[in-house]
Amino acid sequence: MLRAFLCVGAAFLFALFVFPASTFAHVIGAPEPWGFDLQKAYSPVKEVFHDFHNFLLIIITLITLFVLGLLVYVIVRYNARANPKPASFTHNVKLEIIWTLVPVLILVVILVPSLKILFYSDKTTEADLTIKAVGHQWYWSYEYPDHGGFTFDSRPIWDGPATTAEDAAKLIAESSPHWLIPTQQPLRLLEVDHRIVVPVHANIRVLTTADDVIHSWAMPALGVKKDAVPGRMNETWMRIEQEGVYYGQCSEICGTGHGYMPIVVEAVSKEKFSDWVSSKQKQAGIAPPATQPAAEPAPQTRAKGAVDGAAASAAEPAVGAATTPTQPAADHNTEATPEEKAE
């Protein structure tokens, strides 16, 4: 019995430390088998979340240990055998003031950084580009309003529990040509046919809305989770510092297909992003800009932990955005363009 227990324990530890790192080395923002703790941070907001989480962990650990110590002390010192004649007093004004004030002070200590982070993650004042995510039952569609407003649907490859591995393999074979960063082993229930593409080192304004019920656009590794509410436009932002593929999911129960509306973001270099935008504009019949502005490095003021970072950049054109006024998309709905259909 003990041996079986030890074997299971050893297997668990092995899986914990060896399996995740080796299996999904090509994917950087995704859940891992046997993973625990928060996902690794790949955006400044998520880094601040980590710091705040660690700070709270210290406070909560101290409180738990203190309460545990009190309990043990009371159990040992004041049990019926050790203390046969209990005291009869009922009030202690000094103690009552202390146990009211100390928790209030602890809450204030938590409140201050908490509010700071709330405002920091709320919106970016100097966005390099904007993407709009629209939730549907049960898939996402995306719009790039700074780049002529082309749109596309992003549908899950595993479209419910009935999807077989063979079906998924077929869909992956069809979809992978659309992916800029190929993944050798697409993650079950987390892969989509058309991924969102964004540039690295850019402040990305994310607008969310929905056309049926409330959904939520959530990317754990990027510290983003914003409800997508019908008839309302919510805003948040992200900045990705490392190229790679990031996975998220709808995080607001939205119906039977809720578990099957993943989100996949590809963060690529600004040059690759511009090329991708041009190809999407071509598909959507949007006139390409006369000149493509050189992709300037975005200001670094929003980098790592810069909660109080002062606003920096001057009005900079959106990354890869058209310099000439762009025509609106020929067809603003999310139907596939003829070129897409032909594929």
Stretch that binds Cu ion, among 102-110, 140-148, 253-261, 290-298 (CB under 5 A): 253-261
Smallest separation (angstroms) from Cu ion to the CB of 257? 8
Smallest separation (angstroms) from Cu ion to the CB of 260? 9
**Residue 200 or 254 with smaller CB distance to Cu ion:** 254
Q: Does 268 bind Cu ion (CB under 5 A)?
A: no
Out of 147, 215, 226, 280, which residue is the one contacting Cu ion (CB under 5 A)? 215
- Total residues binding Cu ion (CB under 5 A): 4
**Residue 49 or 138 with smaller CB distance to Cu ion:** 138
Task: Provide the mask over 166-195, with x wherever binding to Cu ion is found by CB under 5 A and - wherever it is not.
Answer: ------------------------------
Out of 224, 254, 284, 318, which residue is the one contacting Cu ion (CB under 5 A)? 254
Task: Provide the mask over 293-322, with x wherever binding to Cu ion is found by CB under 5 A and - wherever it is not.
Answer: ------------------------------
Stretch that binds Cu ion, among 10-18, 107-115, 126-134, 214-222 (CB under 5 A): 214-222
Reduce the secondary structure of the chain to three states and give it as a string. CHHHHHHHHHHHHHHHHCHHHHHCCCCCECCCCCCCCCCCCCCHHHHHHHHHHHHHHHHHHHHHHHHHHHHHHHHHHCCCCCCCCCCCCCCCHHHHHHHHHHHHHHHHHHHHHHHHHHHHHHCCCCCCEEEEEEEECCEEEEEEHHHCCEEEEECECCCCCCCCHHHHHHHHHHHHHHCCCCCCCCCCCCCECCCEEEECCCCEEEEEEECCCCEEEEEHHHCEEEEECECCCEEEEECCCCCEEEEEEECCCCCCCHHHCEEEEEEECHHHHHHHHHHHHHHHCCCCCCCCCCCCCCCCCCCCCCCCCCCCCCCCCCCCCCCCCCCCCCCCCCCCCHHHHHC
Stretch that binds Cu ion, among 50-58, 101-109, 257-265, 315-323 (CB under 5 A): 257-265
Out of 133, 134, 228, 250, which residue is the one contacting Cu ion (CB under 5 A)? 250
**Residue 101 or 233 with smaller CB distance to Cu ion:** 233
Among 146, 225, 152, 220, residue whose Cα is nearest residue 192: 152
Smallest separation (angstroms) from Cu ion to the CB of 248? 11
On the 0-12 / 13-18 / 19+ scale of CB atoms within 10 A, 13 is exposed
Smallest separation (angstroms) from Cu ion to the CB of 252? 5
**Residue 215 or 302 with smaller CB distance to Cu ion:** 215
Smallest separation (angstroms) from Cu ion to the CB of 189? 13
Instruction: For strands 224-228 and 196-199, give the pairing.
Output: unpaired
Smallest separation (angstroms) from Cu ion to the CB of 160? 13
On the 0-12 / 13-18 / 19+ scale of CB atoms within 10 A, 93 is exposed
Out of 258, 259, 306, 317, which residue is the one contacting Cu ion (CB under 5 A)? 258
Stretch that binds Cu ion, among 19-27, 50-58, 175-183, 210-218 (CB under 5 A): 210-218
Among 156, 154, 158, residue whose Cα is nearest residue 194: 154
Stretch that binds Cu ion, among 30-38, 146-154, 175-183, 209-217 (CB under 5 A): 209-217
Positive or negative: CA dihedral 225, 255, 130, 196: positive
**Residue 258 or 282 with smaller CB distance to Cu ion:** 258
**Residue 15 or 214 with smaller CB distance to Cu ion:** 214
**Residue 263 or 277 with smaller CB distance to Cu ion:** 263
Contact set with Cu ion (CB under 5 A): 215, 250, 254, 258
